[in-house]
Structures are given as structure tokens and as C-alpha cells.
């Protein structure tokens, strides 16, 4: 039997045969990996990296859950991804990048950022997520980052959880214009909202 594209297979009958036991195990693993492929953060996207020493890179990522695993060992100050198709930023997808100062993820169709997606980014100061499709800003997404500016303009944000921007001592500017936000409890913030 030849299977050309296992993603489109809906059923298969395997009869009681000892030789088929190995095949069943392999088939199960293949099906399981296809189901888990839906949780891949970056599929067929182009990432641009820049640093102060004029090193630049343009890298096409076929399939990955973490940017640091895909980029060369250069030290990047800025990572930019624009006009790509990235629906969800899963936990740890942008993490452990010691020198990253600017993260520019504009117009990528991002609908959700899971808590813990942006983690262990000690130099990060600017996050630009404008022009995406975010509806909710959850706690645990930006908390404990040392960023000074977050640009969330031109999304579809309707709700921001009360503690979504807590424990961010360097935060000065949050840009929220052109969203669907009608009410937000901003008591205790020393930030400049625009």
C-alpha cells in the first residue's frame, strides 16, 4: 500500500496480522505528528534580522516553534517579520534571545499571543504588533518584560485583562489607537496611552 499524502487520509483498515503491528505503530506516530503540526507557530515565513554591525539576514522558516532555533548564531538587535501568516504566537516561540532590542511583527494576521510566548528577552525595549488581528491582551504575555514601548495600533482589541501590563517598570508608551476597545481599567499605570 502506498500513501501519497497522509494528511488527507480519513480511515484505514488493518487486519490482524503480526507484520502489521509495526506498520500500525509507525502510522500512529505519523498521524500524531500531523495532528500536532497545527500548533506550529512559524510556517513558511520570512524573518529579517539586523544588528548594529550591519549584519543582516533574510531567512525562510519552513516550520518551527521557536525563532532562536532557526536563526544563525549572529547577535541580532532587531527581528522583523511583516505581511506573513502567523495566527498564534505559542509559549516560548520568541524566547532566550539575549541581545534582541526590537521585535517588529507587523501585519502578520496574529490573532492570539499565548502567555509565555515572549520570554527571557532581557534587552527587549520595543515591541510593534500593529496591523494584526489581536482581540484580547492576556496577562502573562507582556508581564515582566523590560520594554519601554508596545505598539498595538490597528488590531481588533476588545479586551485587555486587568494585570496585562503589570510588573513592567520600564513601560512608558502603549499605543492602542484604531482598536475596538471601549473600556479599560488603567489605574496604576504611569504609561502614556496613545
Annotated domain spans of the chain: 41-193
Given a contact cutoff of 8 angstroms between Cβ atoms, the answer to whether 108 and 85 are in contact is: yes
Residue 93 has pLDDT above 80, yes or no: yes
Mean per-residue pLDDT for 10-31? 51
CB atoms within 10 A of CB 42: 24
Strands 173-175 and 192-193: parallel
Taking residues 45-71, what's their average pLDDT? 76
Query: Distance of alpha carbon 128 from its chain centroid, rounded?
Result: 13
Average pLDDT of the residues in 95-106: 93
| Residue 32 pLDDT > 50 | no
- Domain spanning 41-193: CATH superfamily: Ribonuclease Inhibitor (3.80.10.10)
Q: Which of 15-24, 109-118, 165-174 has the lowest mean pLDDT?
A: 15-24
Q: When comparing pLDDT for 4 and 54, which is higher?
A: 54
For the ranges 21-35, 140-154, 156-170, which has the lowest average pLDDT?
Answer: 21-35
Confidence class for position 36, pLDDT limits 50, 70, 90? very low
Lowest mean pLDDT: which of 58-62, 72-76, 87-91, 141-145? 72-76
Amino acid at each position: 500500500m502506498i500513501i501519497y499524502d497522509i494528511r488527507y487520509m480519513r480511515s484505514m483498515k488493518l487486519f490482524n496480522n503480526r507484520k502489521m503491528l509495526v506498520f500500525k505503530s509507525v502510522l500512529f506516530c505519523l498521524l500524531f505528528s500531523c495532528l500536532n503540526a497545527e500548533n506550529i507557530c512559524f510556517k513558511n515565513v520570512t524573518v529579517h534580522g539586523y544588528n548594529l554591525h550591519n549584519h543582516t539576514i533574510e531567512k525562510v522558516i519552513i516550520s518551527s516553534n521557536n525563532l532562536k532555533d532557526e536563526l544563525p548564531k549572529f547577535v541580532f538587535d532587531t527581528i522583523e517579520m511583516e505581511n506573513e501568516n502567523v495566527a498564534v504566537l505559542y509559549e516560548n516561540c520568541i524566547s532566550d534571545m539575549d541581545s534582541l532590542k526590537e521585535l517588529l511583527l507587523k501585519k502578520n494576521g496574529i490573532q492570539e499571543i499565548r502567555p509565555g510566548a515572549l520570554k527571557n528577552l532581557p534587552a527587549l525595549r520595543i515591541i510593534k504588533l500593529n496591523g494584526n488581528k489581536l482581540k484580547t491582551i492576556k496577562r502573562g504575555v507582556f508581564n515582566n518584560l523590560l520594554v519601554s514601548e508596545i505598539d498595538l495600533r490597528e488590531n481588533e482589541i476588545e479586551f485587555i485583562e486587568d494585570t496585562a501590563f503589570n510588573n513592567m517598570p520600564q513601560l512608558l508608551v502603549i499605543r492602542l489607537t484604531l482598536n475596538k476597545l471601549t473600556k479599560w481599567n488603567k489605574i496604576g499605570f504611569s504609561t502614556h496611552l496613545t
